[in-house]
Amino acid sequence: MAEIFNIFSVLRIESDEVTTHSRFIAELLNPKGVHGLENQFLELFIKTLGIKTKLDTNNCTVSVEAYQGKVTETTDGSIDILVR
Judge whether 57 and 43 are in contact, CB under 8 Å.
Answer: yes
| SS3 call for 64 | strand
Digit-by-digit pLDDT tens for the chain (84 residues) are 567 888 778 888 877 766 778 889 999 999 999 999 999 999 999 999 999 999 999 999 999 988 888 888 887 788 889 999
- 62 and 83 Cβ atoms separated by less than 8 Å: yes
User: Can you give the pLDDT at residue 31?
Assistant: 97
pTM: 0.76
Query: What is the structure's pLDDT at 75?
Result: 77
Residue 2's pLDDT is: 61
